[in-house]
Structure 1
Amino acid sequence: MTSRTDRAARNDRALLEAARAVLAEDGAHASVAAIAARAGVGIGSLYRRYRTKEELFQRLAVLSLEHWNEAAEEGLADPDPWAGLAGFVTACVEFGQGTLAPIAGAVEVSDEMDAASRRGDDLLDALVRRAQDAGVLRPDVAAVDVALLIEQLGRSPLVDQLRKQGRDDLLPAAVRARARLVAIALDGLRPGAPGGLPGDPPGEELFTGRWA
């Protein structure tokens, strides 16, 4: 028998997946009704659990951050520093990490969001330091570079467009094409590149400033 807690957790996962898809299509104008419909959750039951759109988005942001942190912890548990970092990046891209970025600045950052975000920053810093100490990550790459790379690759215009069109015939090929781009990008993180990266490393304000 499914408990109320199990049902709520299942609905949360469905809402997060739906929110990523709807935000990819509609951006910050995404409606709660569209997200609920995509998730197969009744709008009435959704509002019984989340009193406002902001409260829903805050919960979805926490779930997304928790996925980031779990992927980072799995990466750090891998004895191979490069495999751990590459696995983390791949897992976050495939999850669609960063697709909640359109709501940045539209919701208040809750204490739970802040704590999960700080934990994620620490974990990513550890992944980057470990890979650089092992000589498998180019030394001029900063943790924010990796985070921004994940955000860029996590939102695929091609995949989003084909999904919206219902082109199931082309969608698998688009997903495979994105996997190739991820591999190309990961190779660019390896040491031995002929030239250095342009400009100074990006700062954390590129993330925190958007959410203020």
Structure 2
Amino acid sequence: MPSQSQDAEPQVASAPQGAPAPLSGRRAQAARNDGAILDAARRVFVDDPEAPVAAVAQAAGVGISALYRRYPSKEELLARLCLDGLRRFVAVASEADVVPDPWEAFATFLRGIVDADVHSLTVRLAGRFRPTEEHRSLAADAGERAGRILARAQDAGVVRADVTDDDLPMVYEQLTAVRLGDAARTAELRARYVDLQLEGLRARADAAALPGPPPAPAELGARWRYRE
């Protein structure tokens, strides 16, 4: 980046009234580095949660010191990725919740969760960092929103009544496990299997009862216990 003389005033474009001021050169570069680090960390750790932080720095095209200035430990980086995944889950659920038709709301929600790949992020990283109160609050919010969408669809008689809130994480997990070929092919295959899952989730008078009970909350929560 070209240097300025000590006497020169930095030229900053004025922002429209009410808009945030543009970032300075160094702050803008730091923001770009942070975005590159998080994008690379998602790819690296979803593929291999045991990968070293150096692999993230290499994939992001930044120096290891720049990464450690922003995230002093791998655990902090994983915790941030999980927060981002939970926030995206809440956003997807919020968008689906306002769809008027109960079935379309449920289908939009399931497709959105799979498209965003947020469950890959949260489940793959579970147990590898200490959850904070923010993680717990977001997880509770995500669960409540998903449960509300499911309950609305069941009240309308369009989703089978024997599906519970605790079944849904297993459905997401099955769908986000689909990884084959490049990103476009993976997305294509996931869309195929989302529709297959949705057909199985539809309420039908002749549907056989599901075998066995759904997973217990304790079974689902066990994966989030921090493994030192």
- The bucket for the TM-score relative to the shorter chain is 0.7 to 0.9
Does 1:34 pair with 2:49? Answer: no
Change (3 A) 1:74 1:13: farther
- Structure 2 distance, partners of 1:131, 1:52, is 43
Change (3 A) 1:10 1:196: farther
Change (3 A) 1:121 1:196: same
- Structure 2 distance, partners of 1:127, 1:116, is 17
What are structure 1's unaligned runs of at least 5 residues?
A: 164-170
Match of 1:60 in 2: 81
Deviation at 1:144, TM superposition (A): 1.9
CA-to-aligned-CA distance 1:65-99 (integer Å, 9 cap, x gap): 00000001111111111111111111111121222
Does 1:211 pair with 2:227? Answer: no
CA-to-aligned-CA distance 1:109-136 (integer Å, 9 cap, x gap): 1111111111111111111111111111
Match of 1:108 in 2: 130
Q: Tell me how many residue pairs correspond in the alignment.
A: 201
Kindly report which structure 2 residues correspond to 1:98-137, keeping only aligned pairs within 5 A, or say none: 98-100=119-121, 101-137=123-159
1:3 aligned residue (6, 15, 23): 23
More displaced stretch, 32-41 vs 191-200: 32-41
Does 1:146 pair with 2:168? Answer: yes
- Structure 2 distance, partners of 1:110, 1:132, is 33
Higher relative contact order (CA 8 A, sep 6+): 1
Does 1:89 pair with 2:110? Answer: yes
- Structure 2 distance, partners of 1:138, 1:17, is 37
Match of 1:185 in 2: 197
Sequence identity of aligned pairs in percent? 38
Amino acid at match of 2:202: R
Does 1:176 pair with 2:188? Answer: yes
- Structure 2 distance, partners of 1:8, 1:139, is 50
Change (3 A) 1:107 1:133: same
Match of 1:75 in 2: 96
- Structure 2 distance, partners of 1:120, 1:137, is 20
Q: Please state whether the residue corresponding to 2:201 is helix, strand or coil.
A: coil
Deviation at 1:41, TM superposition (A): 3.9
* TM-score, normalising length: structure 2: 0.79
CA-to-aligned-CA distance 1:10-51 (integer Å, 9 cap, x gap): 55554444333223332x312222223323443222211111
* TM-score, normalising length: structure 1: 0.84
Change (3 A) 1:173 1:52: closer
Amino acid at match of 1:72: A
Amino acid at match of 1:99: S
- Structure 1 distance, partners of 2:87, 2:147, is 16
Q: CA RMSD in A?
A: 2.2
Q: Please state whether the residue corresponding to 1:98 is helix, strand or coil.
A: helix
Q: Please state whether the residue corresponding to 1:211 is helix, strand or coil.
A: coil
Deviation at 1:8, TM superposition (A): 5.9
Match of 1:201 in 2: 214
Largest Rg, 1 or 2: 2
What are structure 2's unaligned runs of at least 5 residues?
A: 1-12, 14-21
From the two aligned structures, give the one with the greater helix fraction.
Answer: 1
